[in-house]
Structure 1
């Protein structure tokens, strides 16, 4: 990464050890000792006797030697049509099941609006309930004059499947600290239910019913939008607690021996680094929500709310018409990823960053070895660390690719046939020589359109796998004060591994035809989908949530007239031919 700050959505100014603030001062401070953080938990003892075998991190050629083409192939031509403006930093887009033709958008500063007949109207404001943006209440990042980003605020809106009847909807926001917040912690992660007024033109903030009010250690890794699934349960993502490397204060110790800390791998002490699945129409005990009976950890020592785990900062989730749950997980230092999330799935953080091994004390140097499996959280045996369907590096052949992945939607609309069934997502980056974001697509290499299963994601999962004992966190009395048993796993010469393209979906960059480089002129913040399956991208032009540069842009077919004018040619007899989206058609005589 560069020494520039990045985005509300992620990429922690903290992810590079040499990253500095605008005045050049170091803004990271010291990392807690790995030795101090390496402590056994009860779950580790049961796994310590597993047989030894070494699983090397996959290394594969990228298969693309054309430096001019960049990391991504050129994809579908599109245009961007502004449909709303005057926002600060739009964070979430949603539609409700109702008789009205409108869509909703949230602003990071605390307001939610709806757009109807081309006009924006304020729907609700929770500005007085969110943290003061730009004011860091905790101790991460440490004092850093000139800090230019903030990931907190109003981050998500979603409507109850029966909104037409019950007028209920849900907000995700960063709540103000109070005297009950643990010392040095930053804010609360809040999930709240509201009820719209009878005309559904507005909602009273006083109708709030808190579903979650969870302390969050640091200011970052707050996740973003949420989604109702086809089962009418609410899927709510939550980041690993913030800081960096999943090892800062507020992060519990876990089974993996190389890295201290591990909220992403823990399912019994906290909900961080997970996707939750909640029944908002029920309650259970003193919980203001119900637990679906088939949640994967029901009946185990794990927390019943958790649906899947092993995430760093889930930033954008969505379902397609086949019930597949797509989730973008913002990476730490080298790689970004998109996953298809399965019930009970472990997605690897902080053992892995994407498909690559991860070492918290050398986060720009992937270790040469790490396990492909983890001790099962649902019973005896092991579970696979599920690899992503999309992965891209922060840099490729000296050029920035993207510093934060932004989750989107599978395109199932009609306006752009070339996009049909592709997963549309984005990347955010700050580079003066390039644009501020990319619009990207991913397609299954086999053309699969149905439900994705574990067999599709982990086709080589063996019948009797194990976790090599060298990776298991030893108990405290087994640790030599002068030697860390995991040191031998570190390959300090291995600065980065290649992306295994042959194991991933086919990736391409959408071409915004109005711009020479094919990229939007804005920071890509989030995506949205309307009732017709058409897609929108939420953007702005500021790193800090200030000003009124925020916009909602609809992804539309390239302007036919403009395209024709630019590509009109005449043949020897004076007849014209036009090239449209790369296909030549000759006009009738």
Structure 2
């Protein structure tokens, strides 16, 4: 059983917009590893000489956010620095493109009905017109005058709904040297079109991109791998499927290999964190050929969604008519849960939306997963630290996010987790934990906090360093 741990929070930056990504880099010609902060609305700042400096502002390139009430899951979603950034000034962005707003893939919200088979087999038919927006993955470079400029586009992704686009979605693998993109299942709820399990769909996957390859100009906006031009198919491999929505991927060195950690945001029951070491990425070219011959290539890691929500078959929650304090849980996709039960990857750990245990918290949405390798906070050394958006307790006011940790285990059993309690006083303001970041050596942890769930409520963010 993991004990609860107290930590402090040291404010680094205050009064900024929603912090999407927190990671460090050394600027070309610089000597110091600096913290970079990407905001959802399209700004990238870094901390230098004890002040916040603007690195890039792409707000004009970002889709109009928060038009339907203020909450939004689009915007600037990913930032990754090339492993040779200090020498070449190259970095990568993932964001939702201005002017691409569409009507969405379904007219109404979606909940499957096992008694109505048609709801279990929906198809996304008119993709050219029925979509919500377009996301792009781009390569940028710092010019000789010090200003960043876009070099080329790597992907244009047409997305069916506004949510589940991935966040902190770009990271470089220290193993393969490739750019890793984590894509959400496309949104709504319950993955209406089962995109995450379809090998041809880009949604719901972990993808490695070989940025040394040539990418064609004037890329089409696509949803499927077989719609990509041949040269881009050659540059991509797929690592995993069954992703609902992931707050990025993180890597922890262990002996001469790396443990990979991926969180999967849950539907109604549970938040889950997965880990794997060995994997067999499948070239997109091979996936496309297998699809045309109706064969199913072996090797993809499968997180189980939408048949499985972490360690549980995906369930529909309904209030019991005779007792509003109880829930009725109906298996949403029985056949899919059965189909993926043997070859899915079980989670490393899970935490729940309802949990009566006094030493735990009830969560709502996983927002960050990072290893911690320092001895500065001894109780956390070697642990995996994670954040939840907001503790799910109706009696808790104002809102507070959740911070916790777990330990890796190699016996296949679900790991326990312990609560990390910050001693910082947030006062009367809500404190949503939007994301978690770390430095190169994974010895510093950074926490992004916001006072609102609405992207239209500006300048209410603080980035903290987690300290003893």
TM-score range, shorter chain: 0.7 to 0.9
Give the Cα–Cα distance (whole angstroms) in 1 for the partners of residues 66 and 131 of structure 2.
Answer: 15
Give the Cα–Cα distance (whole angstroms) in 2 for the partners of residues 513 and 443 of structure 1.
Answer: 23
Residue 392 to residue 198, structure 1, CA distance change in 2 (3 Å): same
Give the Cα–Cα distance (whole angstroms) in 2 for the partners of residues 356 and 162 of structure 1.
Answer: 42
SS at match of 1:106: strand
What is the aligned partner in structure 2 of residue 45 from structure 1? none
**8 Å contact 1:221–1:313 — kept in the other structure?**
yes
Give the Cα–Cα distance (whole angstroms) in 2 for the partners of residues 286 and 549 of structure 1.
Answer: 39
What is the aligned partner in structure 1 of residue 133 from structure 2? 187
SS at match of 1:543: coil
- CA displacement at 1:317 relative to structure 2: 1.9
Do structure 1's residue 162 and structure 2's residue 84 form an aligned pair?
yes
Query: Structure 2: which 5+ residue stretches go unaligned?
Result: 103-126, 220-229, 281-299, 319-326
Do structure 1's residue 223 and structure 2's residue 166 form an aligned pair?
yes
Tell me the TM-score normalized by structure 1: 0.60
Do structure 1's residue 513 and structure 2's residue 427 form an aligned pair?
no
- CA displacement at 1:238 relative to structure 2: 0.5
Give the Cα–Cα distance (whole angstroms) in 2 for the partners of residues 132 and 155 of structure 1.
Answer: 14
Give the Cα–Cα distance (whole angstroms) in 2 for the partners of residues 171 and 554 of structure 1.
Answer: 24
- CA displacement at 1:100 relative to structure 2: 2.8
What is the aligned partner in structure 2 of residue 335 from structure 1? 270
SS at match of 2:247: strand
Give the Cα–Cα distance (whole angstroms) in 1 for the partners of residues 393 and 154 of structure 2.
Answer: 40
From 333, 357, 372, the equivalent of 2:313 is 357
Tell me the TM-score normalized by structure 2: 0.75
Query: Structure 1: which 5+ residue stretches go unaligned?
Result: 1-71, 137-146, 252-261, 289-297, 376-381, 449-455, 458-502, 558-589
- CA displacement at 1:413 relative to structure 2: 2.1
**8 Å contact 2:100–2:134 — kept in the other structure?**
no
**8 Å contact 2:91–2:139 — kept in the other structure?**
yes
Do structure 1's residue 442 and structure 2's residue 406 form an aligned pair?
yes
The aligned runs of 1:520-535 (5 Å cut-off) are: 522-533=431-442, 534-535=444-445
Residue 359 to residue 415, structure 1, CA distance change in 2 (3 Å): closer
Please state which structure has a larger fraction of its residues in strand. 2
**8 Å contact 1:316–1:526 — kept in the other structure?**
no
Output one character per residue of 1:450-471: Cα deviation in whole Å (capped at 9) or x when no partner: xxxxxx55xxxxxxxxxxxxxx
Residue 391 to residue 410, structure 1, CA distance change in 2 (3 Å): same
What is the aligned partner in structure 1 of residue 177 from structure 2? 232
- CA displacement at 1:227 relative to structure 2: 1.0
From 304, 324, 328, the equivalent of 1:348 is 304
- CA displacement at 1:549 relative to structure 2: 1.4
Greater relative contact order (CA < 8 Å, ≥ 6 in sequence): 1
Output one character per residue of 1:46-69: Cα deviation in whole Å (capped at 9) or x when no partner: xxxxxxxxxxxxxxxxxxxxxxxx
What is the aligned partner in structure 2 of residue 196 from structure 1? 142
What is the aligned partner in structure 2 of residue 176 from structure 1? 98
**8 Å contact 1:172–1:189 — kept in the other structure?**
yes
What is the aligned partner in structure 1 of residue 289 from structure 2? none
Give the Cα–Cα distance (whole angstroms) in 2 for the partners of residues 311 and 438 of structure 1.
Answer: 22
- CA displacement at 1:304 relative to structure 2: 5.2
- CA displacement at 1:335 relative to structure 2: 1.0
Do structure 1's residue 116 and structure 2's residue 60 form an aligned pair?
no
- CA displacement at 1:390 relative to structure 2: 1.4
Q: CA RMSD in A?
A: 3.2
Residue 364 to residue 386, structure 1, CA distance change in 2 (3 Å): farther
- CA displacement at 1:216 relative to structure 2: 0.4
**8 Å contact 1:316–1:328 — kept in the other structure?**
yes
**Please, which moves more after superposition, 348-357 or 191-200?**
191-200
